[in-house]
Amino acid sequence: MAAYAVRRMAGGFLLLLVLTLVTYVVFFTIPQDPGRFIVTVPHPTTADLTAADHKLGIDQPVYVQYGKYVWRLVHGDLGRSYATQEPVFSIVRYSLPVTASIVLGGVVLLALTSLVLGVYCASRAHTTVDRIVATLPLVGIALHPLAVGLLLRWAVAKHLHLAPADGYCELMPGGGGCSGPMGWASHLALPWITFALFLLPLYVRMVRARVLETLDEGHVVVARAKGASERGVVWSHVLPLVYPTLVAMLAMDAGAALIAAIYIEIVFGLPGLGSAAVQAQVGIVGLDLPVILGVITVVAAAVIVLNVVADVVTVRLDPRLELGRRRYTLW
């Protein structure tokens, strides 16, 4: 299992290299002038710009720059922002916990609600309730998380005043302001709900289908035959077979989840990775390549690690499965 994880990680690292290389090459085919980021005089001469370019290291050929980028990456250094000269690592260190909080809390909420609703629908299969829930995915995929977030923000925060509309509070108390578990959770309540709603319809359908499928299996018939209650059958004979599917699906959707997180950060004004990337993209002077690359690298690494972890967990949960036999794997 360890060898498997190492092999997958190595493949993932290769993928990361390809990805950053593509971003680098495309970036340098775009006509723009990063030197202007750090020039302080209002009307820079060509000499000023050349000096600035030299200071940023972008007067070198692309492959030298890329080589240096990889060299630094291996040593855990993501470079410095063109605009603020701040190390990208510290930008990531401040924004990663925000995005992680949104995704983790959202995933917990998503898993719980989809299990409850999925089992409920399965126990009432082919009734009106079940049919109504079955049509929800159609609406679910057609609603953008941004729109859902805006509506929630408008209704719950601005009109009912049940939760704060925006801002982020640190989990650990002592950070000043509203930091602490309560402030953290209350500020993230709406983002979590938005996140869960984004994927919920799909997951309810999946859990429902999986429960119905498992209810037909032999071991369930045996459990019923020896007189187990319906609740007991679902809890100890059906649900353990649903968990691996749930974990596998969550891993597959890691990329989609991070995309949703970008929009959720925008709606609720959370200073996460997505906000950092968007900010680096809309700068007046041009694209802040190191920041964008830093975010891409961190997100890609997270997706790769999560996929491997999910693979291992899935096999642990369901010994009948075999490693490397999953349908959708990332290298």
Partner 1 sequence: MPPPASAAAATGPGAPEPAVVARSSWAHVLHRLARDPLAIVSFTLLSVVVLGVFAGGPLAAHLLGHGPNDVFLHSITDGVPAGPWSHVRNLDESYKHTDGTTLFVLGSDGYVGRDEFVRLLYGGQTSLEVAAGATFVAMLVGTFLGGLAGYFGGIVDGIVLRIIDFLMAFPVILVAIAIGSSASDRFAGITFGGLLQPGVIGLAGFVGLLTCFYPARIIRAQVMTLREQPFIEGARMVGASHRRILFGHMAPHLMGPLAVYSTIVLATNIMLEASISLLGAGIQPPTASWGNMLSTNFGTLLYPGHYEPLEPRLWTAVFPSLAILLTLVAAVLLGEQLRKAFDPRAR
**For binding to partner 1 (CB under 8 A), which residues are involved?**
15, 19, 22-23, 26-27, 30, 32, 138-139, 141-144, 146-147, 150-151, 154, 158, 165-167, 252, 254-256, 258-259, 262-263, 265-266, 269, 271, 275-279, 281-282, 287, 289, 292-293, 295-296, 299-300, 303, 307, 328-331
- Give the residue with the Cβ less far from partner 1, 166 or 217: 166
- Give the residue with the Cβ less far from partner 1, 19 or 185: 19
- Give the residue with the Cβ less far from partner 1, 115 or 297: 297
Among 271, 125, 309, smallest CA distance to 207 is for 125
Cβ burial, residue 30 (10 Å; 0-12/13-18/19+)? exposed
Give the span between the Cα atoms of 109 and 190, in whole angstroms: 11
Kindly state the DSSP code that residue 34 receives in the 8-state scheme: G
CB of residue 23 to partner 1, shortest distance in Å: 5
- Give the residue with the Cβ less far from partner 1, 2 or 282: 282
Give the span between the Cα atoms of 213 and 122, in whole angstroms: 10
CB of residue 25 to partner 1, shortest distance in Å: 10
Give the span between the Cα atoms of 153 and 141, in whole angstroms: 20
CB of residue 223 to partner 1, shortest distance in Å: 28
Contact present, 170 and 273 (Cβ < 8 Å)? no
Give 112's contacts (C-beta < 8 A, 6+ positions apart): none
Give 209's contacts (C-beta < 8 A, 6+ positions apart): none
- Give the residue with the Cβ less far from partner 1, 225 or 282: 282
CB of residue 94 to partner 1, shortest distance in Å: 10
CB of residue 148 to partner 1, shortest distance in Å: 9
- Give the residue with the Cβ less far from partner 1, 15 or 220: 15
Cβ burial, residue 211 (10 Å; 0-12/13-18/19+)? buried
- Give the residue with the Cβ less far from partner 1, 188 or 234: 188
Dihedral angle computed from the Cα positions of residues 183, 184, 190 and 195, in that order, rounded to the nearest 10 degrees: -170
- Give the residue with the Cβ less far from partner 1, 44 or 283: 283
CB of residue 136 to partner 1, shortest distance in Å: 12
What is the distance of C-alpha 50 from the center of its chain? 39
What is the distance of C-alpha 49 from the center of its chain? 38
Location of structure tokens 């999910």? 310
Alpha helices for 35-180 (secondary structure H): 46-56, 62-74, 88-123, 128-142, 145-152
Give 120's contacts (C-beta < 8 A, 6+ positions apart): 129
CB of residue 18 to partner 1, shortest distance in Å: 8
